[in-house]
Structure 1
Amino acid sequence: MKKDLCTVEEATSKILARVKRLPREIIEVSRACGRVIDEDVCVDCDIPPSMISLRDGYAICSEDFKHDSPIDGLKIIGVITAGDVPSFTVTPGTAAKIATGALLPEGADTVIPYEDVVIGEKKIFLKSTPLRGQFILKPGSLAREGNVVAKKGQILTPMSVCSIVDCGKAFLKVVRKPRVGIVVTGNEVVELDSRNNKDHVFCSNRYLLVSLVKNYGGNELPLGICPDDERDIASVLESSHGCDCVIISGGTGKGEHDCVRKAWNLAGIDTVFDGVMMHPARGTACGWKDGVFYFSLPGNPFASGIAFVQFVSVALLNLSGVVITFPPSTRARLSEDLNTKESNVPKYFWGKATWIESGMIVQPLGMDRTNPLTEISLANCVVKVDPGRKSLKKDSPVFIQPVSFGSHLGYVSYLV
């Protein structure tokens, strides 16, 4: 594999040059939130199709209050609840008791709330002159026939799903989720229920990667734990059919037991890039074979998660139909000083972002070397520090990359 390091931007460009949006599938609208729609959804009739009451009260005819409120009151001729189809007509001098959400009867064009009338025996008396057309939802006021409520390529949010359901759409064409294989390497790594030696390490990196895959809209496929043997690793990589992307955790160093690169050669995987000018995760690599991405990430979860956000997330989002060139990001201010040495490569830190009245602030995590694991458990974003910056003071502006989307892509839509 080649040894020249590339920049983060160069590495990302090489990924984008190979990524292709996945094919569509059809799903129930109840499962559509966070998915990328692969069709336009149009309104096939005016919404609502008829006038609807927005208040509990009485449906009346505006002819009754052209000048003054009728002295003799309005005769109550019927009651309409939501879901009823009125079978009578409101004429001058009459009114119908009506519920919120109910269809207005023929002849009625205004609703007057209960609190604005005096109720007599089978009659109502208006306390004041209402405005014509008040408290009604007119036909087509929510959407007109032919309006597009969801566009192809849009990430569906709860409200867009609601609008689609209002159109009567039960099934949707969406971009298929990427299938992501996850391989953990290392003689020291064991399953959660398998440690019989205190020096063994639980496979926490797999669970981190599984969570990140879900966050960025993918379906994970754990492919097990491999010992530090290139033939075993190559065998797993060659049999990981059906995946759109495979992540290999660990073995990115240059020691004799770091055999992922050798396994790639045995499996016939072409190198896209091998090493990136960044800190941490300098040894991150990307491979390509038969339309499948292969990402080699560090075994250290702190570094592995950062590499995932910078590169794997870009591949997964574009495979899912979200066209981006860099990880979704936003601005924030540091909540405390960030002491870091000046570097000619970008540096990345885990952080905890919080909304306050004045905007987004972020607390760098893992800086306390005495208890970094506890700090890192609070992380919900990655903080990026550009080359040349050092010892950033409190309130300094930085870019952050949120990583907590609630297992769907909805939040990404606000950042891309």
Structure 2
Amino acid sequence: MIQSSLELIFQNVNELKKSKKVSLNGAINQILARDIFAVKNLPSFDNSALDGYAFNYDFVNKPLKIVGTIFAGDKSVYELSQNCAYRIMTGAMMPKASDTVVEFEKAVVENDMLFVDKSIKKHNAYRYAGEEVKAGEMLLRKGEVLTPDKIMLLASQGIDEVKVFTKPKVAVFSSGDEIVEPWQKASQSEIYNANSSAIEAILKDAKFECEYKGIIKDSFTDTLNAISSASNYDVIITSGGASKGDADFMAEALKELGYKAVIDSINVRPGKPTKCYKLDEKLVFILPGNPMAAFLICFLVVLPTLKKISSQKELNFTKIMAKFSGNIKFKDGRSNLVLGIYKDGKFSTINNNKFGSGMITPLVKANSIYISKVGESGLSDNDDIEIIPLY
């Protein structure tokens, strides 16, 4: 049910398509707005992969006269004569007619003569122009996230500025008269607002910025005013006020403001009361008030949606094949989010999958999650399953 809910949300999402230019130094974790093609070969010329001697393999097992040294950065063009060799440094341009490099450690040199036997393979340590990337080839695709290795690749092409997609502006609320902020003093009848901190952390860990807007009190007017105050955001995320309780005014307020329901619930445990509303290009997610449910739905539903809005190429989570350890049963008619620990190829549940959606400690203990299919009766020991790493 998670996947079908995501598909429905995706059908109602328009990618922002807004872009900007950023310097390479500021491009980390940004999303490419256009395809990038190589402008030059990588390597751009034939060169040595290590410090050694360049020679022609046709003359292996023969004494070779060392006629000079080639340093990295030397732009002169050298050419080997028969029965000759050059000392060469890492990255230096290979002399013409050479095809192999023997490293210093394996070279035998006597009186400026090099002796190489056939233990050295032909083309050893010879880096050919364009063997990694050829000019004109696709380098990176639109929608890819710019990671440090990709930034290095761009720099190797002399690219110092890239066009990237603008990420959505995200506002985060909590709701409920019973919650207070972690920096305040909670009475015995009050609870601390843990949800917003978790939601912010999940989003920021995935390189999305968000702004915390505070706690919405349980009244229709306060709810209406809070949502209205965030009208300049692309996505609003709230937790609490998602169920059918008398004090849950979120859906009522959104309808008053013209929002239309995209999903009214998700047939999953925990997280069933989750809702998503849309007005023009804006989305509002109403997550459950229970911490575990809010955390998991934010991770599994909100996060992929933000990636979709941002035109990110990879939307799906990385999945790992594992062997299930243990035996558990599921209730019919719903999907189940199973928290567990993945280690040495095996996935085992936390407390045999017995937890309440208001708990937090199972999240702390778990490092991965299994999503059961609707109608799946349970898991048996040694079953093959696909799991999603949480971290």
Q: If the length of structure 2 is used for normalisation, what is the TM-score?
A: 0.87
Residues 249-288 of structure 1 mapped to structure 2, 5 A cutoff: 249-288=239-278
Structure 1 residues 116, 271: CA separation in 2 closer, same or farther (over 3 Å shift)? closer
Structure 1 residues 339, 108: CA separation in 2 closer, same or farther (over 3 Å shift)? same
The Cα offsets for residues 2-58 of structure 1, whole Å up to 9 and x where unpaired, read as xxxxx6565334312221222223333345455432222111122222221122212
Q: Does 1:402 align with 2:383?
A: no
The Cα offsets for residues 256-282 of structure 1, whole Å up to 9 and x where unpaired, read as 222212322343322223223322222
- Give SS of 1:305's match: helix
- Give SS of 1:119's match: strand
Shift of 1:295: 0.7
Q: Share of identical aligned residues, percent?
A: 23
Structure 2 CA distance for aligned equivalents of residues 165 and 336 of structure 1: 50
Structure 1 residues 213, 127: CA separation in 2 closer, same or farther (over 3 Å shift)? closer
- Give SS of 1:377's match: helix
- Give SS of 1:134's match: coil
Structure 1 CA distance for aligned equivalents of residues 123 and 319 of structure 2: 46
Residues 225-244 of structure 1 mapped to structure 2, 5 A cutoff: 225-244=215-234
Q: Which is further off, 292-301 or 282-291?
A: 282-291
Query: Who is 2:337 aligned against?
Result: 348
Structure 1 residues 77, 127: CA separation in 2 closer, same or farther (over 3 Å shift)? closer
Query: Who is 1:363 aligned against?
Result: 349
Residues 17-416 of structure 1 mapped to structure 2, 5 A cutoff: 17-22=11-16, 23-32=18-27, 34-61=29-56, 65=59, 69-70=62-63, 73-74=64-65, 76-86=66-76, 89-105=79-95, 108-121=98-111, 123-128=112-117, 133-322=123-312, 329-340=319-330, 342-354=331-343, 356=344, 359=345, 361-364=347-350, 367=353, 373-404=360-391
Structure 2 CA distance for aligned equivalents of residues 362 and 244 of structure 1: 39
Residues 170 and 236 of structure 2 are in contact (CA less than 8 Å); yes or no, is this contact kept in structure 1? Answer: yes
Shift of 1:156: 4.2
Structure 2 CA distance for aligned equivalents of residues 10 and 95 of structure 1: 66
Shift of 1:398: 3.6
Shift of 1:383: 2.0
Residues 32 and 172 of structure 1 are in contact (CA less than 8 Å); yes or no, is this contact kept in structure 2? Answer: yes
Structure 1 residues 323, 162: CA separation in 2 closer, same or farther (over 3 Å shift)? closer
Residues 9 and 263 of structure 2 are in contact (CA less than 8 Å); yes or no, is this contact kept in structure 1? Answer: no
Residues 252 and 258 of structure 1 are in contact (CA less than 8 Å); yes or no, is this contact kept in structure 2? Answer: yes
Structure 1 residues 254, 222: CA separation in 2 closer, same or farther (over 3 Å shift)? same
- Give SS of 2:342's match: strand
Q: CA RMSD in A?
A: 3.0
Q: Which is further off, 328-337 or 178-187?
A: 328-337
Structure 1 CA distance for aligned equivalents of residues 135 and 250 of structure 2: 57
Structure 2 CA distance for aligned equivalents of residues 352 and 177 of structure 1: 33
The Cα offsets for residues 91-147 of structure 1, whole Å up to 9 and x where unpaired, read as 3354332222222245544322223433234x1231425665432112222221111
Structure 1 residues 332, 106: CA separation in 2 closer, same or farther (over 3 Å shift)? closer
Residues 180 and 186 of structure 2 are in contact (CA less than 8 Å); yes or no, is this contact kept in structure 1? Answer: no
Structure 1 CA distance for aligned equivalents of residues 372 and 121 of structure 2: 59
Number of paired residues? 388
Give, as a single letter, the amino acid of the residue that structure 1 aligns with 2:164.
Answer: V
Residues 19 and 319 of structure 1 are in contact (CA less than 8 Å); yes or no, is this contact kept in structure 2? Answer: yes
- Give SS of 1:231's match: helix
Structure 1 residues 176, 89: CA separation in 2 closer, same or farther (over 3 Å shift)? same
- Give SS of 2:172's match: strand
The Cα offsets for residues 49-76 of structure 1, whole Å up to 9 and x where unpaired, read as 222112221223557x17x513xx51x4
Structure 1 residues 220, 244: CA separation in 2 closer, same or farther (over 3 Å shift)? same
Shift of 1:86: 4.1
Give, as a single letter, the amino acid of the residue that structure 2 aligns with 1:18.
Answer: N
Structure 2 CA distance for aligned equivalents of residues 113 and 10 of structure 1: 58
- Give SS of 1:400's match: strand
Residues 84 and 103 of structure 1 are in contact (CA less than 8 Å); yes or no, is this contact kept in structure 2? Answer: yes
Q: Which is further off, 244-253 or 130-139?
A: 130-139
Residues 85 and 114 of structure 2 are in contact (CA less than 8 Å); yes or no, is this contact kept in structure 1? Answer: no
The Cα offsets for residues 382-407 of structure 1, whole Å up to 9 and x where unpaired, read as 32122333342222334433332xxx
- Give SS of 1:283's match: coil
Residues 309 and 327 of structure 1 are in contact (CA less than 8 Å); yes or no, is this contact kept in structure 2? Answer: no
Structure 1 residues 318, 328: CA separation in 2 closer, same or farther (over 3 Å shift)? farther
- Give SS of 2:278's match: strand
Residues 242 and 273 of structure 2 are in contact (CA less than 8 Å); yes or no, is this contact kept in structure 1? Answer: yes
Structure 1 residues 54, 235: CA separation in 2 closer, same or farther (over 3 Å shift)? same
Structure 1 residues 265, 361: CA separation in 2 closer, same or farther (over 3 Å shift)? same
Structure 2 CA distance for aligned equivalents of residues 368 and 95 of structure 1: 72
